[in-house]
Amino acid sequence: MEWLDEYEKLVIRMNTPRVVIDNAVCPTATLVQVDSARKRGVLLEAVQVLADLDLSIKKAYISSDGRWFMDVFHVTDQLGRKLTDDSVITYIEQSLGTWNEPEQPAALEEGLTALELTGADRTGLLSEVFAVLADMRCSVVEARAWTHRGRLGCIAFLRGGEDDADRVPLILARLGHLLRGDAGAVAAVPAAAVAHADRRLHQLMAADLDHDQGQDAVAFPTPAVSVESWAERGYSVVTVQCRDRPKLLFDVVCTLNDMDYVVFHGTVDTTGDQARQEFYIRHADGSPIRSEAESQRVSQCLQAAIERRSLEGVRLELCTPDRPGLLSDVTRTFRENGLLVAQAEVSTKGEEASNVFYVTDAAGNAVDQSAIDAVRERVGMDCLVVKEEPQPQLFQKAGPGDRDGVAGMGLVYLGNLVKRNLYNLGLIKSCS
């Protein structure tokens, strides 16, 4: 009923999220707690803000009770340190303290066109795409590209021009020719229609059915995903166990949300380089997963979402003054030296290009050092560098002899907080 919808809106307006950021509770991470009225997508919004800041979520507790929702995150920076930058803390408080969708990155200016492309991957395909854009005098402001199980997904944001009405159809026709026979697709939409580039890439590759493709010849171990029924409580329980990596929780929550599931409760825990995530979910209409076939689909889609962003290959960072045709030249050099771009992240800030590429050989194996040296010599030894992934500091839990058990204080505090809520809901039993 209409009056009920208005009442729901009033409840939400009266109960804007309360955000608490605390560096005193846990000795090894910053606590970010969000209490809010429950609404669709609130968990994804919170995780998206943290992921966009490249923060690592080491632990998380998710719980809802009727109309209320609580998220608690243990976060660190990329090096495993607490958050100490006041501007970052203020941004988190402001972003999570409203119901507005997270804003697009500042680098994305108005009037851009988003080019969306999927198709069968092959050595040099990304180079050919950027060559077409260079030939059509397109300025690429930002781009993302992922490869997974022989498929490529790419989003490129192009700066507009006076002749866009005539140029865009020609660009689509030429790129469509590259993908002919590969069951590919290419489209152009206003950049404002792409709320979040990574989330849109997940949607494009899922629509391309990359999860139905065969396994890659060389890949990380397949993530372990199980889906079980808890019929008496009306939940389906999804458990994910895999190697931890940046933005892992975002990729999982994003996929569940896009598949029309709602997370009511959940926990996330990382030990060393391993992560374990458990979610109690229902359909948006309140029903649990209904069949074994649906469970299999959820498992396959989550495995694919985790694998798409797996950081395979050598990481090459390119920082150089931007110029027309830069991406075409660099990716052509990769192709001429037998390198396959497994993942790319392209951005420009002012007149400076800052790009990251993960490259393998044509078979997806580790790259020979001589090939890397040849590419760097062609592109420029100073502007194209090999970068190691940031290695976070690993903290050990407090032992029996540790002073006052300080290292375990944060976990005990959060554990009791969430367990009390879960106990009141009847989701766990008392141990007393």
pLDDT at 422: 47
Residues 303 and 318 in one domain: no
Burial of 244 (0-12, 13-18, 19+ CB in 10 A): buried
User: DSSP secondary structure string, 301-367?
Assistant: HHHHHHHHT---SEEEEEEEE--TTHHHHHHHHHHHTTEEEEEEEEEEETTEEEEEEEEEETTS-PP
177: in domain: yes
Residues 91 and 117 in one domain: no
pLDDT at 347: 94
Annotate 131-153 with three-state secondary structure.
HHHHHCCCCEEEEEEEEECCEEE
Residues 382 and 424 in one domain: no
275: in domain: yes
Of 271, 289, 309, the residue at which a domain comes to its end is 309
Nearest to 240 by CA among 289, 277, 280: 277
Q: Enumerate residues 6+ apart whose C-beta is below 8 A from 372.
A: 314, 316, 386
pLDDT at 11: 58
Summarize the confidence of residues 125-143 as an average pLDDT.
93
Residues 99 and 21 in one domain: yes
Q: Would you say residue 111 has pLDDT above 90?
A: no
- What is the distance between the alpha carbons of residues 332 and 326, in angstroms, rounded to a whole number? 10
Residues 304 and 239 in one domain: yes
Of 309, 330, 352, the residue at which a domain comes to its end is 309
Residues 79 and 155 in one domain: no
Residues 319 and 171 in one domain: yes
pLDDT at 397: 42
Of 266, 292, 309, the residue at which a domain comes to its end is 309
- What is the distance between the alpha carbons of residues 209 and 17, in angstroms, rounded to a whole number? 36
Residues 322 and 286 in one domain: no
Domain range for residue 226?
220-309
9: in domain: no
pLDDT at 135: 93
In this prediction, residue 3 has a pLDDT band, given cuts at 50, 70 and 90, of low
Tokens for 424?
A: 């009141």
Work out the percent of the chain whose per-residue pLDDT is above 70: 81
pLDDT digits (tens, 9 = 90+) for 143-156: 999 999 889 999 99
Q: Would you say residue 12 has pLDDT above 60?
A: no
Question: Are 146 and 166 contacting, i.e. CB atoms less than 8 angstroms apart?
Answer: no
Work out the percent of the chain whose per-residue pLDDT is above 90: 61
Q: Would you say residue 217 has pLDDT above 50?
A: no
Summarize the confidence of residues 106-125 as an average pLDDT.
82
- What Rg value do the Cα atoms of the chain yield, rounded? 23
212: in domain: no
pLDDT at 36: 85
122: in domain: yes
Residues 41 and 68 in one domain: yes
What are the backbone angles phi and psi of residue 99, rounded to the nearest 5°?
Answer: -95, 5
User: DSSP secondary structure string, 238-251?
Assistant: EEEEEE--TTHHHH
Burial of 137 (0-12, 13-18, 19+ CB in 10 A): exposed
Q: Would you say residue 205 has pLDDT above 80?
A: yes
Question: Are 333 and 358 contacting, i.e. CB atoms less than 8 angstroms apart?
Answer: no
In this prediction, residue 374 has a pLDDT band, given cuts at 50, 70 and 90, of very high
Q: What is the pTM of this model?
A: 0.84
409: in domain: yes
Summarize the confidence of residues 402-425 as an average pLDDT.
42
Q: Would you say residue 409 has pLDDT above 50?
A: no
- Max mean pLDDT among 109-123, 323-337, 380-394 falls in 323-337
42: in domain: yes
Place of tokens 């941004």: 91
Residues 236 and 304 in one domain: yes
pLDDT digits (tens, 9 = 90+) for 65-79: 777 889 999 999 989
pLDDT at 214: 66
Run of H or E including 284: none
Q: Enumerate residues 6+ apart whose C-beta is below 8 A from 339.
A: 123, 359, 360, 361, 362, 367, 371, 375
- What is the distance between the alpha carbons of residues 308 and 314, in angstroms, rounded to a whole number? 16
200: in domain: no
Split into its structural domains, the chain has a count of: 3
Residues 232 and 292 in one domain: yes
Residues 152 and 174 in one domain: yes
Q: What is the CATH number of the domain that holds 232?
A: 3.30.70.260
Give 63's DSSP letter: E
In this prediction, residue 162 has a pLDDT band, given cuts at 50, 70 and 90, of low
